[in-house]
Amino acid sequence: MEVIKNGITGTETLTVDLLGGAFALEGPPAVQNPNPSARTSFRAADRLSGMLLGSAIGDALGMPVRGLDNRLTKQAIERLGGVRHFVAPQPHVLRSLRRLRPGCWTDSTQLTLQTTRSLLKKSDVDYDDIAQAMVHAFENFELRGWDTTTKQSCRRLSQGTHRLRSGKLHGCGNAVAARIAPIAAWTFMQGEDRQQLLEHCFHYGVMTHHDVRAITGAYLIGLLIRDALAAPRRWDPSPNRYAELIEEAKWAETILSHRLGRPEDLLSRHLEELEDALDCSSVELADFCQGAESYACHSVSYVIALLCGRSWDFEEAIIATVNGGGDTDTNAAMVGAVVGAAVGTKKLPRQLLERLEEVEVIRGLGEKYAGVF
Ligand SMILES: [Mg+2]
């Protein structure tokens, strides 16, 4: 029997020692991952820029209503007649967002771009360099809605704590899932498999969030990014994708629990509870997800149910996501990254692109990133 403690192996069938017992764990169905170079219709620059821009647009759409009290968030959405455009921050929003102008994005975009810069600079997933890039952002950027878990962990990294020990124990928020897109895209472009994606999610996630739920959430969003890049320029999930992702979540939770300890609550259980609600509206889904606030089990399950429930046009997807309330900017950043990666830059709404903060910087970063492969 092979007991996995420190590494996730590259084999499809893993034998693990789980809670004192031993059994063979079959890997879930493999993700379709065609070689992009073999597909003439695939333009990496268009898709990777679409992913980064889509994430930033979703973040900026949700920013003006992102507060700590979801009751006030929902009231603000109602007052605005639903959020459909970039608007000014509403009175209840997080203090660090109140001075932003319409079209500005927040923490998840700051760190997604910062992660992309590291991948570009090193032409590799270099965890030490990514940790340094996070610290640089923490010390030099305006901290727009940064979660306490990420701030505390970056402070520990800056003080010399090793990245395997810097993350907050039980840090179970959605922040890692919200910034995983460039790393998931790396695995797709390089033809890496699911085990390698999970390994990256572990090392990337644990530097801030030492928790199975936060990292499983990142893994599942990463799989959806890979689906999006493999898709023919539209977001049209297969009918059984949601059920497959529940199995993927269980598989990741089993492996991650060996390294991080098994939490009482698990993302896979939340996904199972939502399985019959995939055709509900975003408002109803958010209610089923306890408001879709920043806890990974609530936020990521909301995003996955929305994405897997039907095919989506980009603009419809991010508008529906924000108007469900909760962690509006982070939820829409995840949805925007996935649908943006599927449709590419040319199908992003021009009226939002024109008003997005640093749109050409983000587009250029996506194009340069594509040049790595
Ligand atoms: Mg944010």
How far, in Å, is the centroid of ligand 1 from the Cα of 142?
A: 12
How far, in Å, is the centroid of ligand 1 from the Cα of 199?
A: 25
How far, in Å, is the centroid of ligand 1 from the Cα of 309?
A: 24
Across the range 322-342, mean pLDDT stands at 98
Amino acid (1-letter code) at residue 90: Q
How far, in Å, is the centroid of ligand 1 from the Cα of 115?
A: 16
How far, in Å, is the centroid of ligand 1 from the Cα of 60?
A: 9
Q: Is 27 a residue whose pLDDT tops 70?
A: no
DSSP state letter for 96: G
* Per-residue pLDDT at 21: 31
- The answer to the question of residue 98 being in a domain is yes
- The answer to the question of residue 48 being in a domain is yes
How far, in Å, is the centroid of ligand 1 from the Cα of 189?
A: 27
**Radius of gyration for the chain, computed over Cα atoms and rounded to the nearest angstrom:** 19
How far, in Å, is the centroid of ligand 1 from the Cα of 46?
A: 25
- The answer to the question of residue 2 being in a domain is no
Q: How far is CA 163 from CA 3, 127, 173, in A?
A: 24, 8, 18
How far, in Å, is the centroid of ligand 1 from the Cα of 240?
A: 31
46: its two tokens: 């268009």
How far, in Å, is the centroid of ligand 1 from the Cα of 59?
A: 7
How far, in Å, is the centroid of ligand 1 from the Cα of 174?
A: 10
- The answer to the question of residue 9 being in a domain is no
292: its two tokens: 């879709």
pLDDT tier for residue 38 given thresholds of 50, 70 and 90: low
How far, in Å, is the centroid of ligand 1 from the Cα of 311?
A: 25
- The answer to the question of residue 5 being in a domain is no
Across the range 172-183, mean pLDDT stands at 98
Q: In terms of residue numbers, what domain contains 115?
A: 43-370
How far, in Å, is the centroid of ligand 1 from the Cα of 137?
A: 14
Identify the helix (H) or strand (E) that includes residue 352: helix 350-353
pLDDT in tens, 124-157: 999 999 999 999 999 999 999 999 999 999 999 9
How far, in Å, is the centroid of ligand 1 from the Cα of 105?
A: 7
pLDDT tier for residue 17 given thresholds of 50, 70 and 90: very low
How far, in Å, is the centroid of ligand 1 from the Cα of 147?
A: 8
Q: How many domains, the chain?
A: 1
How far, in Å, is the centroid of ligand 1 from the Cα of 316?
A: 20
C-alpha span between 351 and 348 (Å, rounded): 9
Across the range 49-63, mean pLDDT stands at 98
How far, in Å, is the centroid of ligand 1 from the Cα of 357?
A: 14
How far, in Å, is the centroid of ligand 1 from the Cα of 274?
A: 25
DSSP state letter for 88: P
Cβ-defined contacts of 24-28 (< 8 Å, 24+):
25/251, 25/254, 27/194, 27/251, 28/194, 28/244, 28/247, 28/248, 28/250, 28/251
How far, in Å, is the centroid of ligand 1 from the Cα of 111?
A: 10
**Strand extents, DSSP E, 135-269:** 168-169, 209-210
Q: Is 322 a residue whose pLDDT tops 50?
A: yes
Give CA angle at 249 (21, 66), nearest 5°.
135
- The answer to the question of residue 33 being in a domain is no
Residue 258 backbone phi and psi in degrees, to 5: -65, -30
How far, in Å, is the centroid of ligand 1 from the Cα of 296?
A: 14
Across the range 168-184, mean pLDDT stands at 98
Q: How far is CA 272 from CA 86, 248, 354, in A?
A: 34, 12, 40
Model-level pTM?
0.91
- The answer to the question of residue 361 being in a domain is yes
How far, in Å, is the centroid of ligand 1 from the Cα of 191?
A: 30
Residues ≥6 apart with Cβ < 8 Å to 198: 8, 219, 252, 255, 256
The CATH code of the domain that includes 68 is 1.10.4080.10
Q: Based on the number of CB atoms within 10 Å of its own CB, is 132 exposed (0-12), middle (13-18) or buried (19 or more)? A: middle
Q: How many CB atoms sit inside 10 A of residue 3's CB?
A: 10
How far, in Å, is the centroid of ligand 1 from the Cα of 321?
A: 14
pLDDT in tens, 88-104: 999 999 999 999 999 99
Q: Based on the number of CB atoms within 10 Å of its own CB, is 236 exposed (0-12), middle (13-18) or buried (19 or more)? A: exposed
How far, in Å, is the centroid of ligand 1 from the Cα of 275?
A: 27
C-alpha span between 286 and 292 (Å, rounded): 5
How many percent of the chain have pLDDT more than 90? 89
Q: Could you list which residues have their CB under 5 Å from ion ligand 1?
A: 106-108, 145, 329
- The answer to the question of residue 218 being in a domain is yes
